[in-house]
Amino acid sequence: MTWHPRLAAAALLLLVAPLSALDGEPGMHDPSTVIQADGRFYVYATGNGLPAFVSDDGWTWRRAGAVMQAVPGGRPGPDVLARGGNNTWAPDIMRVGDRYYLYYSAPGPQPKSAIGLLIGKTLDPASPDYKWEDAGPVVWSDGVEDSNAIDPGVFRDPGNGSLWLTYGSYFGYIRLVELDPKTGKRLHPERAPINVSINSEASIMIFRDGWYYLLVTHGSCCQGGNSSYNIRMGRSRKVTGPFLDNMDVDMLQGGGKLFAGSSGRHIGPGHFGLLALGEGVQKFSLHYESDLDRGGISVLDIRPLLWRDGWPVAGDNLTAGTYEIESARTGTALEMAVQGAPVGGARRGPGGPPPGQGPPSGAPPGTPPAPRPPIPAQEADQVSANWPGGAAGVRLAPYMLQAQQKWAITPVAGAGGYPGSPYFKITVAGTDRALAATAEAELTVLPAFTGGPEQLWRVDQLTDGTYRLMPKGVPGSKDAMALSAVGSSTPTLAAFRPAGDRERWLIKTP
Amino acid sequence: MTRLRNALVSAIVSAIGALPFAVVVIVAATGQQPAPAPAPAIGPPTAPTAPTTPNAPRGPAPSLARPASPTKASDRAGFLQRWLILEPLKVPGQLTEGAVQALVKKEHVPESLTAVPKDGEVVHAGDETLTWRAVDTTAYNVNLFHFAYALNKPTSNVLFWAVTVVDAPREMPGVRLAIGSNAASVWWLNGQEVIGLYNDRQAVIDDGVSPRLTLKKGPNVIRAAIVNAGGATDFCARFLDGNDAPIIGLVVRLDAAAGATPRP
């Protein structure tokens, strides 16, 4: 496996900002972990001077200059240049104490390369405190050894607070070293790095329930739609490995359970980064080598992180469609509170021909009756004549495929969003009747969608695959509230409680 | 036009069937609570027995007992276990929202939504004479089938009225009334309609839950209409706090509203 001309590719990516997936300017390559600071989201990527990107909501992104603009000399420090080269690729970032450690790749003629450290107090370029200090190289590869010291991934062990760095790219091993949280540099530079994986790059670790997970990217990068990039993983009970995949194959021997491959309109996912949003909500950042909806450029994306059977699972952001919204607590479905009509009309027999509808006249004995015709799906315009013209209540009921139980969930352009998704409107399918929050923190269906924050919904998929639905705003309240099943027939709005099912919902295709 | 007529104007003797299960209740015009009557048609939990005489009570009703104390605190899960139940009123048994709403509007006078009947109080509904009966349930729910069956009353295509009075120790904002019912039901708190459940259904704990409400200090009158089309019929009710947790220990005092709420 060889390395690729990332810099040239990344330079092209930054010029384009079409629509879809994340909004604004998500064109980038090798993104760092997305980090939250002072109410904003930041991410850094491969490119001249390490391009910086910022978002106020995690949905709409914009360029925010380059990191090296705030570094004395405007480029890697002399020791970094000596160990590696004057390139700035594939950074990663973490807040440690009151400082930010930004690790970046500074390759020379690969596999001669170095990983440098920059230290800053703030991520806000407008702050008077905004500057990055060169802290020199952290690890490096000499061009001969079995290592290519690029693609840093920094990890804080939640068990003991220890700090670790994984790095490497195809040539040789993915390596692990322990860092000193006080300096961001190696804690034991005299010790040999620990090899943890091969055949991969873009490594990073996460931890959950006693397991350390090593996520890496396999395949080829930087070839647009011809990139075979895919994210794979193994796990270990120890931070130092061995990291085994789902078939117990050691990642040092090429193992790796697939976490995310190409799908939909996106080719070549790579460079996993955990984005923990609190209250048990986890997402992950990555880039695609080719976003077909943006002419094939590489873009950042943020997606839900799910967990199943002890392994992380790559979730997908909700897309526009018509859905049943079912309470994970009660198993009953959200509906506009109107008298439902059975699908297909009045009661029909359990089987066999209805009265007077036997075999065709004159048919020989034993001729089976004609099969009953299919019953079409119930649409709103078939049953809405008796629905109230004004606002209606909202309740939960057994799902019976009825029109008042089917909801169109539709992204709203220009209304902002949250990490990974835009706000949605939720309307009774086939109508403009919009689910909305009331000033009493209850629910109503308004006769028409008018775009108010009480009618805009944030839909986050949670780690168990269920969803949390939150209005952008509740009239007269500053509290964040989520759709909640307070009873089997009764929805309301309440603070999200991650420990239970009250605010968890299944979104199903009818 | 209402079918129910209050019968407080005179003392009424309600003799329900043959002894020993007959209930004899004397209701004074003053509204004074009657003395506990002996041997009601409800009693400790035992299996119903087959009737020996047409229209005779079959009692005692499993799971229901006659109140033996002035007050009763909710159980450990917050369920209200003391109620006044009116003997079942024969109705068409339609359970849609429109049918149930029309029925409950037809079958009560609006002023009565905050009134608290007396144990043994008799009302007339068309050609039916029905008696309010105070009951304690030994379970989380009130089994209306037990109630009606023990009295040898119909259990299908019926409407049950139920009333209780929660004596709140202080003003309690942000609470919710949470009920389950078999089948459809409509609920009022202090005269305000707060819950409606419709269509054929089983009684599920916390099925219908009211919007956030305020229990005022002192008596709060809960009234419910439960409509059953056929089969089992029951209900359960409790209050939830601001975190949706049951409120434990609320006290029911059926005479707490006496003098506080004008009778219609």
Percent of chain A with pLDDT over 90: 89
**A-B Cβ pairs (cutoff 8 Å, strict):** 38
Mapping DSSP to helix (H, G, I), strand (E, B) and coil, where does residue A19 land?
coil
Q: Which residues contact A193 (CB under 8 A, 6 or more apart)?
A: A139, A147, A175, A176, A177
**Is B244's CB within 8 Å of A489's CB?**
no
Mean pLDDT for the stretch of residues A184-211: 97
User: Which phi and psi (to 5°) does residue A167 adopt?
Assistant: -165, 165
Split at pLDDT 50, 70, 90, the class of A350 is: low
Between residues A176 and B123, the one the model is more confident about: A176
**Alpha-carbon distance A492 to nearest alpha carbon in chain B (angstroms):** 8
* DSSP letter, residue A45: -
Q: Give the pLDDT score at B56.
A: 79
Q: Across the interface, do B206 and A486 touch by the CB < 8 Å criterion?
A: yes
The DSSP output letter for B127 is T
Residue of chain A whose Cα is closest to the Cα of B175: A486
DSSP state of A229: -
pLDDT of B54 higher than 70 = no
| Cβ contact B141:B236 at 8 Å | yes
Of A339, A484, A502, the CB nearest to B97: A339
Structural Rg of chain B based on CA atoms: 17
| Contact (CB<8Å) B208/A502 | no
The tokens for A368 are: 């089976």
- With b for 16 or more beta-carbon neighbours within 10 A and e for fewer, the A184-202 pattern comes to bbbeeeeeebbbbbbbbbb
Is there a contact between B244 and A494 if contact means CB atoms under 8 Å apart? yes
Residue A201 designated active-site: yes
Question: 């009557």: which residue's tokens?
Answer: B37
Note whether A441 contacts B197, CB cutoff 8 Å: no
Nearest to B209 among A339, A440, A487 (CB): A487
Q: Which of A127, A123, A217, A122 is nearest to A166 (CA)?
A: A217
B244 to A442: CB separation less than 8 angstroms, yes or no: no
Q: What is the pLDDT of residues A76-130, one digit of tens each?
A: 999 999 999 999 999 999 999 999 999 999 999 999 999 999 999 999 999 999 9
Both structure tokens of A175: 């390596």
The reported pLDDT for the residue numbered A211 is 98
Contact residues on chain A for B197, CB-CB shorter than 8 A: 489
pLDDT score at A433: 98
Are A492 and B204 an interchain contact pair (Cβ–Cβ within 8 Å)? no
Residue A490 pLDDT greater than 90, yes or no: yes
The angle subtended at Cα A347 by Cα A342 and Cα A352, nearest 5°, is 130
Q: Which residue of A has its CA nearest to B204?
A: A488
Question: What CA dihedral angle connects A38, A40, A43 and A47, to 10 degrees?
Answer: -100
In whole angstroms, give the CA distance from residue A264 to residue A309: 25
Query: What pLDDT does A510 receive?
Result: 84
- The token duo for A262 is 């190409």
Give DSSP secondary structure letters for B8-52. TTS--B---SSTTS----B--TT-PPPPPPSS-S--SS------S
Q: What pLDDT shows up at residue B20?
A: 31
Amino acid occupying residue B243: N
CA atoms within 13 A on the CB side of B240: 18
| Cross-chain Cβ contact B206/A442 below 8 Å | no
Chosen from B199, B207, B214, B239 to mutate, greatest number of chain A CBs within 10 A: B207
Which of A23, A25, A134, A201 is the catalytic position? A201
The whole model's pTM is what?
0.87
pLDDT-derived band at A280, boundaries 50, 70, 90: confident
Q: Which of A394, A477, A488 should be substituted to probe chain B, the one whose Cβ sees the most B Cβ atoms within 10 Å?
A: A488
pLDDT tens, A289-302?
999 999 999 999 99
The strand pair at A60-66 and A23-24 is best described as: parallel
Distance of alpha carbon B73 from alpha carbon B79, whole angstroms? 9
Q: Tell if the CB–CB gap between B198 and A490 is shorter than 8 Å.
A: no
Give yes or no: A151 in active site.
no
Nearest Cα of chain A lies from the Cα of B201 at a distance, in angstroms, of 10
Query: Exposed e or buried b for every residue in A355-364, given b needs 16+ CB within 10 A?
Result: eeeeeeeeee
Distance of residue A23 Cα from the nearest chain B Cα, in angstroms: 37
How do residues A327-341 score in pLDDT, each as one tens digit?
999 999 999 999 999
Which residues of chain A have a CB within 8 Å of the CB of B176?
486
**Distance between CA atoms of A384 and A379, rounded to whole angstroms?**
9
DSSP label at A69? G
User: Among A440, A488, A489, whose Cβ lies nearest the Cβ of B212?
Assistant: A440
